[in-house]
Structure formats: structure tokens, C-alpha cells
Amino acid sequence: MRKKIFLFVFMAMGLYAHTVHAQYMLGTTGMLNIPTADRQEPGTVMLGGNYLPEQVMPDRFGYNTGNYFVSISFFSFLELAYRETLMKSSYMSTKRKYKEQDRSYSIRLCVLKEGKYRPGVAFGANDPIADLGANTFQSYYGVVTKGFEFGGGHRLSASLGYYLKGDKNSNTKWYGNKYDGVFGGISYTPAFCKELKVMAEYDSDAVNVGAAVRLWKHLSIHVFTREFNCISAGMRYECTLIH
């Protein structure tokens, strides 16, 4: 049943006819759940949120949840993001409810712009700042990205990178880390629908397959499945404040 729902949504998205760049799960530039070395226009702001089933979350989350985020590209080579992930707590309650939030940050630095023959290169960090909580998404990475156009406007882009997982911090609780090792993915944008992007990736833990589409210039929606055993979806509003 879940597979049928995913295929239905995917086909419906394809009926809608600006290039879509986003790491949709974390609200930064990338694919579904991996970063890329793609660059945003200076002054680009992204606001959005996601429904996140427990299968896509670190071990700290044994339940379905969601997040919301804001990302700002102050320059084409520098992007900062802030997100809140909803958490269940039994504080002052007999039942666990969504009473707390996990705060996390991301920074992405594009050190080499993609050229005709050379790939783009970026380095970044997720959740690098420790406080009294936990660095649930902590990881450090490097990634290269190269795009190709063929057949009159079709575009294929490939990314390959490596995660260095975070480590214990004496001031935080440690829940392990979901991101560690090699990751990579490919995306395809058809010539007849530049607003649509179809993606497949390995995020160092599992395979994700999905699609994103931009509607009404600034709003985009996305949906993806993790190992075809759950469905995640969300939306994002994007605009450029500086031209």
C-alpha cells in the first residue's frame, strides 16, 4: 500500500511543469538526505518543514516526528542553516507528547565552483555546536558534484562525498550517529519540466529514492521513500532577498 501511495504522489508531481537545489531532510543545499557542492544565488533564503518517519531518524528517535528550518546563503559559497526537530517527552505528563525540540545547525562552504570540466567541491558540518542537550545529527563532510546536460536540455548531476561522524562530548548525552562513511547520489531533471527533479542516493546508512517539484515559482514540495519501507514528505518556500 505504501509503495502505491508513493508512486501515485510521484506521478502526480510529474504533471506540474528555476533549478531545485536542496537537502530536503535537513533544509540545506543537496539532494534528499545528502549534501552536494551546488551553489545557491547570494541572498537565497529557504524556509520549510518535513514529516520524518522514525526509519529516517537517528536512534534517539523511536517515533515519527517532524522538523522545520531556515537556511540563508549570505554568499554563493557560504550557507548557514538552523532547524528544530520535534521530540516527545513525558515531562509533567503521564504520556509522552511533543513537548521538546532538538536544536541543530549546519554550515556549508563551497570552496570550488563547478566548471565545464571540473566538479564543484564543498565542505560542511551538521550540528557541530554542543550545549547541554545532544548533538544528534553531528557530522562533518566533504563532497564533490558534477552536472551534465544532454539530449537537448536534460540534466544529470552526480555527487560523491564522505562523512566523518561526530564524537562524544563531555557536556552532552551520546546517542550514536547515523552519518558515517561514503555517501553519494544522482539527480535527473528532464528538459520538458525544469521544475522537476528525480533523485536516488545512498546517505551512508540507507538508500533513498524520491522527487521534488517547484510550484508557483517559490514553493516546492518533495516526497521520498527510504528503502521502500516508509515515506517522508515536506515543503519549502524559497526566495532571493538580494539580487
Domain edges within the chain: 2-240
pLDDT at 6 exceeding the cut of 60: no
Give residues with Cβ within 8 angstroms of 109, minimum separation 6: 77, 78, 122, 123, 124
Cell of 204: 551512508
* 140-157 mean pLDDT: 94
Cell of 28: 540545506
Which DSSP helix (H) or strand (E) runs through 3? Answer: helix 2-13
pLDDT band at 168 (very low <50, low <70, confident <90, very high): low
**Residue with cell string 524520491:** 210
Measured CA to CA in angstroms, residue 191 lies from 57, 149, 151, 188, 205 at distances of 34, 9, 8, 10, 32
Q: Which residues pair with 139 in a beta bridge?
A: 126, 165
**Tens digit of pLDDT for each residue in 14-43?**
333 345 566 788 899 999 999 999 999 999
pLDDT at 140 exceeding the cut of 50: yes
Identity of the residue numbered 116? K
Rounded CA-CA distance 56/116 in Å is: 35
Q: Determine which of 59-68, 71-80, 140-149 has the lowest per-residue pLDDT on average.
A: 59-68
Which DSSP helix (H) or strand (E) runs through 150? Answer: strand 139-150
Angle at Cα 204 formed by Cα 51 and Cα 6, nearest 5°? 40
pLDDT at 223 exceeding the cut of 70: yes
Identity of the residue numbered 182? V
* 114-125 mean pLDDT: 95
**Residue with cell string 544522482:** 186
pLDDT at position 242 is 67
**Residue with cell string 524559497:** 238
pLDDT at position 225 is 96
* 135-151 mean pLDDT: 90
For the chain, the average pLDDT equals 84
Helices and strands per DSSP (H, E), number in the chain: 1, 12
Rounded CA-CA distance 148/170 in Å is: 46
Give residues with Cβ within 8 angstroms of 215, minimum separation 6: 16, 195, 221
Closest CA to 160 of 198, 202, 197: 202
Identify which has the larger pLDDT, 176 or 7: 176
pLDDT band at 161 (very low <50, low <70, confident <90, very high): very high
Q: Determine which of 20-24, 146-150, 156-160 has the lowest per-residue pLDDT on average.
A: 20-24
Above pLDDT 90, what percent of the chain? Answer: 60
Contact 10, 228 (CB under 8 A): no
Closest CA to 208 of 44, 50, 14: 50
Rounded CA-CA distance 128/86 in Å is: 19
pLDDT at 227 exceeding the cut of 90: yes
Q: Determine which of 119-133, 134-148, 152-166 has the lowest per-residue pLDDT on average.
A: 119-133
CATH fold, domain 2-240, is: Porin (2.40.160)
Identify which has the larger pLDDT, 180 or 52: 52
**Residue with cell string 510529474:** 14
Rounded CA-CA distance 127/36 in Å is: 17
pLDDT at 209 exceeding the cut of 90: yes
Q: Hey, CA dihedral for 44, 234, 22, 219, is it positive or negative?
A: negative
pLDDT band at 5 (very low <50, low <70, confident <90, very high): very low
